[in-house]
A and B are shown apart, each in its own frame.
Chain A
Protein backbone atom coordinates (compact mmCIF):
# COMPACT_ATOMS: atom_id res chain seq x y z
CA UNK A 1 0.00 0.00 0.00
CA UNK A 2 2.86 2.37 0.79
CA UNK A 3 3.95 2.55 -2.82
CA UNK A 4 0.55 3.77 -3.95
CA UNK A 5 -0.54 5.94 -1.00
CA UNK A 6 2.70 7.74 -0.27
CA UNK A 7 3.95 10.21 -2.85
CA UNK A 8 7.55 9.97 -1.75
CA UNK A 9 7.54 6.18 -1.87
CA UNK A 10 5.84 6.23 -5.28
CA UNK A 11 8.37 8.51 -6.94
CA UNK A 12 11.29 6.81 -5.19
CA UNK A 13 10.28 3.49 -6.69
CA UNK A 14 9.27 4.83 -10.11
CA UNK A 15 12.32 6.41 -11.74
CA UNK A 16 10.28 7.44 -14.79
CA UNK A 17 8.10 9.57 -12.50
CA UNK A 18 11.21 11.27 -11.12
CA UNK A 19 12.39 11.95 -14.68
CA UNK A 20 9.07 13.64 -15.44
CA UNK A 21 9.40 15.81 -12.32
CA UNK A 22 12.95 16.71 -13.31
CA UNK A 23 11.80 17.71 -16.77
CA UNK A 24 9.12 19.97 -15.28
CA UNK A 25 11.68 21.48 -12.92
CA UNK A 26 13.07 23.26 -15.99
CA UNK A 27 9.73 24.98 -16.54
CA UNK A 28 6.17 24.19 -17.56
CA UNK A 29 5.82 21.72 -20.41
CA UNK A 30 3.11 22.40 -22.96
CA UNK A 31 4.14 20.38 -25.97
CA UNK A 32 4.64 16.71 -26.59
CA UNK A 33 7.81 17.52 -28.54
CA UNK A 34 9.48 18.56 -25.28
CA UNK A 35 8.49 15.24 -23.74
CA UNK A 36 9.58 13.19 -26.73
CA UNK A 37 13.02 14.75 -27.01
CA UNK A 38 13.69 14.80 -23.27
CA UNK A 39 12.17 11.57 -22.04
CA UNK A 40 11.47 9.50 -25.15
CA UNK A 41 8.08 8.60 -23.68
CA UNK A 42 4.97 7.81 -25.69
CA UNK A 43 2.36 10.55 -25.10
CA UNK A 44 -0.04 8.13 -23.44
CA UNK A 45 2.69 6.85 -21.13
CA UNK A 46 3.61 10.44 -20.26
CA UNK A 47 -0.02 11.29 -19.54
CA UNK A 48 -0.38 8.15 -17.40
CA UNK A 49 2.60 9.16 -15.27
CA UNK A 50 1.49 12.78 -15.09
CA UNK A 51 -1.99 11.68 -14.02
CA UNK A 52 -0.57 9.72 -11.10
CA UNK A 53 1.70 12.63 -10.14
CA UNK A 54 -1.27 14.96 -10.35
CA UNK A 55 -3.27 12.78 -7.97
CA UNK A 56 -0.34 13.12 -5.56
CA UNK A 57 -0.40 16.93 -6.07
CA UNK A 58 3.16 16.87 -7.35
CA UNK A 59 2.26 18.13 -10.81
CA UNK A 60 -0.27 20.81 -11.72
CA UNK A 61 -2.18 20.97 -14.98
CA UNK A 62 -3.52 24.33 -16.06
CA UNK A 63 -3.74 26.86 -18.86
CA UNK A 64 -0.62 28.89 -19.51
CA UNK A 65 -0.70 32.59 -18.69
CA UNK A 66 -2.64 34.49 -21.33
CA UNK A 67 -4.21 31.38 -22.85
CA UNK A 68 -7.38 31.82 -24.91
CA UNK A 69 -10.13 29.47 -25.95
CA UNK A 70 -9.81 28.05 -29.45
CA UNK A 71 -13.32 26.79 -30.05
CA UNK A 72 -13.95 24.30 -27.23
CA UNK A 73 -10.25 23.74 -26.68
CA UNK A 74 -7.55 25.48 -24.71
CA UNK A 75 -3.82 24.88 -24.53
CA UNK A 76 -2.64 23.56 -21.21
CA UNK A 77 0.74 22.92 -19.66
CA UNK A 78 2.07 20.69 -16.91
CA UNK A 79 4.10 22.28 -14.14
CA UNK A 80 5.94 21.19 -11.04
CA UNK A 81 4.01 21.98 -7.85
CA UNK A 82 5.78 23.20 -4.69
CA UNK A 83 5.31 19.70 -3.25
CA UNK A 84 6.88 18.24 -6.39
CA UNK A 85 9.90 20.50 -5.98
CA UNK A 86 10.24 19.59 -2.31
CA UNK A 87 10.01 15.91 -3.15
CA UNK A 88 12.71 16.19 -5.83
CA UNK A 89 14.99 17.99 -3.38
CA UNK A 90 14.38 15.24 -0.84
CA UNK A 91 15.23 12.48 -3.31
CA UNK A 92 18.40 14.30 -4.37
CA UNK A 93 19.46 14.40 -0.74
CA UNK A 94 19.15 10.59 -0.69
CA UNK A 95 21.37 10.11 -3.74
CA UNK A 96 24.79 10.58 -2.10
CA UNK A 97 23.83 8.18 0.69
CA UNK A 98 22.64 5.57 -1.78
CA UNK A 99 25.76 5.93 -3.90
CA UNK A 100 27.99 5.65 -0.86
CA UNK A 101 26.40 2.25 -0.13
CA UNK A 102 26.37 1.06 -3.74
CA UNK A 103 29.07 -1.52 -3.27
CA UNK A 104 27.36 -3.08 -0.28
CA UNK A 105 23.77 -2.84 -1.49
CA UNK A 106 24.64 -3.69 -5.08
CA UNK A 107 24.18 -1.74 -8.30
CA UNK A 108 20.92 -3.51 -9.17
CA UNK A 109 19.42 -2.06 -6.00
CA UNK A 110 20.95 1.39 -6.08
CA UNK A 111 21.31 2.39 -9.73
CA UNK A 112 17.60 2.49 -10.67
CA UNK A 113 16.89 4.77 -7.72
CA UNK A 114 19.51 7.38 -8.52
CA UNK A 115 18.21 9.39 -11.46
CA UNK A 116 20.66 11.83 -12.96
Chain B
Protein backbone atom coordinates (compact mmCIF):
# COMPACT_ATOMS: atom_id res chain seq x y z
CA UNK B 1 0.00 0.00 0.00
CA UNK B 2 1.52 3.37 -0.99
CA UNK B 3 2.21 5.89 1.75
CA UNK B 4 -0.07 8.83 2.33
CA UNK B 5 1.27 12.38 2.13
CA UNK B 6 -0.53 14.50 4.73
CA UNK B 7 -0.26 18.10 3.58
CA UNK B 8 -1.81 21.13 5.18
CA UNK B 9 -1.31 24.42 6.96
CA UNK B 10 1.20 24.93 9.76
CA UNK B 11 -0.34 27.80 11.70
CA UNK B 12 -3.70 29.19 12.69
CA UNK B 13 -4.87 32.49 11.28
CA UNK B 14 -4.97 35.39 13.77
CA UNK B 15 -7.90 34.98 16.14
CA UNK B 16 -8.24 31.26 15.46
CA UNK B 17 -7.12 28.21 17.41
CA UNK B 18 -7.59 24.48 17.57
CA UNK B 19 -10.87 23.24 18.98
CA UNK B 20 -10.92 20.95 22.00
CA UNK B 21 -9.06 17.85 20.86
CA UNK B 22 -9.77 14.25 21.85
CA UNK B 23 -7.47 12.46 24.27
CA UNK B 24 -6.13 10.04 21.63
CA UNK B 25 -4.85 13.02 19.65
CA UNK B 26 -3.51 14.88 22.67
CA UNK B 27 -1.43 11.82 23.54
CA UNK B 28 0.57 12.41 20.37
CA UNK B 29 0.96 16.15 20.67
CA UNK B 30 4.09 15.90 22.81
CA UNK B 31 2.84 18.57 25.18
CA UNK B 32 2.35 21.17 22.44
CA UNK B 33 -0.18 23.61 23.86
CA UNK B 34 -1.88 25.18 22.08
CA UNK B 35 -1.31 22.86 19.15
CA UNK B 36 -0.76 24.28 15.68
CA UNK B 37 -2.19 22.65 12.54
CA UNK B 38 1.30 21.23 11.94
CA UNK B 39 1.34 19.70 15.44
CA UNK B 40 -2.05 18.16 14.71
CA UNK B 41 -0.89 16.73 11.37
CA UNK B 42 2.15 15.20 13.04
CA UNK B 43 -0.03 13.77 15.81
CA UNK B 44 -2.43 12.27 13.27
CA UNK B 45 0.50 10.69 11.41
CA UNK B 46 1.85 9.28 14.67
CA UNK B 47 -1.55 7.90 15.65
CA UNK B 48 -1.99 6.21 12.28
CA UNK B 49 1.58 4.94 12.46
CA UNK B 50 0.65 2.99 15.59
CA UNK B 51 -1.55 0.85 13.35
CA UNK B 52 1.23 0.37 10.82
CA UNK B 53 -0.13 2.92 8.38
CA UNK B 54 2.47 5.02 6.60
CA UNK B 55 1.58 8.69 6.69
CA UNK B 56 4.24 11.27 5.86
CA UNK B 57 4.36 14.93 6.88
CA UNK B 58 6.66 17.08 4.74
CA UNK B 59 7.92 19.21 7.62
CA UNK B 60 9.18 16.11 9.42
CA UNK B 61 11.88 15.65 6.80
CA UNK B 62 14.99 17.80 6.97
CA UNK B 63 15.69 20.49 4.42
CA UNK B 64 18.90 19.68 2.60
CA UNK B 65 21.24 22.60 2.11
CA UNK B 66 20.58 24.38 -1.14
CA UNK B 67 17.77 22.05 -2.14
CA UNK B 68 14.64 23.65 -3.63
CA UNK B 69 11.29 22.79 -2.05
CA UNK B 70 10.16 21.11 -5.27
CA UNK B 71 13.12 18.72 -4.97
CA UNK B 72 12.33 17.96 -1.36
CA UNK B 73 8.71 17.28 -2.27
CA UNK B 74 9.72 14.93 -5.11
CA UNK B 75 12.35 13.21 -2.95
CA UNK B 76 9.83 12.38 -0.23
CA UNK B 77 7.40 11.00 -2.82
CA UNK B 78 10.07 8.76 -4.32
CA UNK B 79 11.89 7.72 -1.15
CA UNK B 80 8.76 7.05 0.91
CA UNK B 81 6.67 5.53 -1.87
CA UNK B 82 3.94 8.14 -1.63
CA UNK B 83 0.99 7.35 -3.87
CA UNK B 84 -1.84 9.33 -2.33
CA UNK B 85 -2.15 12.91 -1.20
CA UNK B 86 -4.37 14.24 1.53
CA UNK B 87 -4.84 17.90 2.24
CA UNK B 88 -6.02 18.71 5.76
CA UNK B 89 -8.32 21.74 5.54
CA UNK B 90 -9.32 22.83 9.04
CA UNK B 91 -11.36 25.95 9.61
CA UNK B 92 -9.37 29.06 10.49
CA UNK B 93 -5.87 28.11 9.39
CA UNK B 94 -3.22 30.43 8.00
CA UNK B 95 -2.47 29.12 4.55
CA UNK B 96 0.42 31.28 3.49
CA UNK B 97 3.28 29.03 2.43
CA UNK B 98 1.02 26.15 1.55
CA UNK B 99 0.29 27.43 -1.94
CA UNK B 100 3.59 26.04 -3.20
CA UNK B 101 2.91 22.51 -1.96
CA UNK B 102 -0.59 22.56 -3.42
CA UNK B 103 0.97 23.81 -6.64
CA UNK B 104 3.19 20.72 -6.78
CA UNK B 105 0.10 18.52 -6.53
CA UNK B 106 -1.85 20.63 -9.02
CA UNK B 107 0.93 20.36 -11.57
CA UNK B 108 0.93 16.56 -11.24
CA UNK B 109 -2.84 16.55 -11.72
CA UNK B 110 -2.55 18.84 -14.73
CA UNK B 111 -0.03 16.48 -16.31
CA UNK B 112 -2.26 13.49 -15.46
CA UNK B 113 0.55 12.00 -13.37
CA UNK B 114 -2.07 11.92 -10.63
CA UNK B 115 -5.80 11.30 -10.96
CA UNK B 116 -8.41 13.17 -8.97
CA UNK B 117 -9.03 10.15 -6.78
CA UNK B 118 -5.37 10.14 -5.71
CA UNK B 119 -5.93 13.47 -3.95
CA UNK B 120 -8.37 14.23 -1.17
CA UNK B 121 -9.17 17.57 0.35
CA UNK B 122 -10.45 16.86 3.85
CA UNK B 123 -12.74 19.76 4.68
CA UNK B 124 -13.83 20.65 8.19
CA UNK B 125 -17.53 21.35 8.53
CA UNK B 126 -19.15 20.87 11.90
CA UNK B 127 -22.38 22.42 10.64
CA UNK B 128 -22.06 25.24 13.17
CA UNK B 129 -19.01 27.42 13.83
CA UNK B 130 -16.16 25.54 12.21
CA UNK B 131 -17.04 25.50 8.54
CA UNK B 132 -14.25 25.65 5.96
CA UNK B 133 -16.62 24.58 3.19
CA UNK B 134 -20.00 23.00 2.76
CA UNK B 135 -22.22 20.98 0.51
CA UNK B 136 -25.55 22.46 -0.47
CA UNK B 137 -28.58 21.76 -2.58
CA UNK B 138 -28.77 24.71 -4.94
CA UNK B 139 -32.07 26.31 -6.00
CA UNK B 140 -31.85 24.48 -9.33
CA UNK B 141 -31.68 21.15 -7.47
CA UNK B 142 -28.01 20.50 -8.25
CA UNK B 143 -25.65 19.55 -5.46
CA UNK B 144 -22.91 22.12 -4.99
CA UNK B 145 -19.74 22.78 -3.04
CA UNK B 146 -19.12 26.19 -1.58
CA UNK B 147 -15.89 27.40 -0.04
CA UNK B 148 -16.71 29.32 3.12
CA UNK B 149 -13.36 30.97 3.87
CA UNK B 150 -13.30 33.54 1.10
CA UNK B 151 -10.27 35.83 1.30
CA UNK B 152 -8.30 33.25 3.31
CA UNK B 153 -6.01 32.09 0.50
CA UNK B 154 -8.09 29.09 -0.44
CA UNK B 155 -7.82 29.63 -4.20
CA UNK B 156 -5.50 26.70 -4.73
CA UNK B 157 -7.56 24.41 -2.53
CA UNK B 158 -10.45 25.30 -4.80
CA UNK B 159 -8.37 24.46 -7.87
CA UNK B 160 -7.84 20.97 -6.47
CA UNK B 161 -11.62 20.61 -6.37
CA UNK B 162 -11.78 21.67 -10.02
CA UNK B 163 -9.20 19.01 -10.90
CA UNK B 164 -11.65 16.51 -9.43
CA UNK B 165 -9.89 15.81 -6.16
CA UNK B 166 -12.24 14.03 -3.77
CA UNK B 167 -13.76 16.28 -1.12
CA UNK B 168 -14.83 14.35 1.96
CA UNK B 169 -16.04 16.39 4.92
CA UNK B 170 -15.37 15.81 8.60
CA UNK B 171 -17.23 17.23 11.55
CA UNK B 172 -14.76 16.41 14.33
CA UNK B 173 -11.37 14.81 14.85
CA UNK B 174 -12.89 11.39 15.44
CA UNK B 175 -14.37 11.50 11.95
CA UNK B 176 -11.12 12.84 10.54
CA UNK B 177 -9.19 9.91 12.01
CA UNK B 178 -11.77 7.47 10.70
CA UNK B 179 -11.48 9.00 7.24
CA UNK B 180 -7.70 8.79 7.29
CA UNK B 181 -7.80 5.20 8.54
CA UNK B 182 -10.12 4.25 5.72
CA UNK B 183 -7.88 5.94 3.15
CA UNK B 184 -4.51 4.86 4.54
CA UNK B 185 -5.34 1.49 5.95
CA UNK B 186 -7.01 -0.35 3.10
Contact = CB atoms under 8 A, between A and B. Distances in A.
B116 to A, nearest CB: 6
Given A55-B175, A62-B166, A83-B186, A69 B143 contact: no
A61 B135 contact: yes
Nearest to B158: A69
Interface stretch (A14-22, A30-38, A94-102, A108-116): A30-38
B135 A32 contact: no
Nearest to A50: B135
Contacts of B166: 60-62
A85 interface: no
Contacts of A55: 168, 170, 175, 178-179, 182
Contacts, number: 80
A27 interface: no
B117 A60 contact: yes
A74 B143 contact: no
B147 to A, nearest CB: 6
A64 to B, nearest CB: 8
Contact of B164 (A29, A65, A68, A83): A65
A76 interface: yes
A39 interface: no
B169 A63 contact: no
Interface of B: 116-117, 135-138, 141-147, 150, 158, 161-162, 164-170, 175, 178-179, 182-183, 186
Interface of A: 7, 29-33, 43, 47, 51, 54-57, 60-63, 65, 67-69, 72-78, 81, 83
Given A32-B137, A73-B138, A77-B143, 14 more contacts: A31-B142, A43-B137, A47-B135, A55-B168, A57-B183, A57-B186, A60-B117, A61-B145, A72-B147, A74-B144, A75-B144, A76-B135, A76-B145, A76-B167
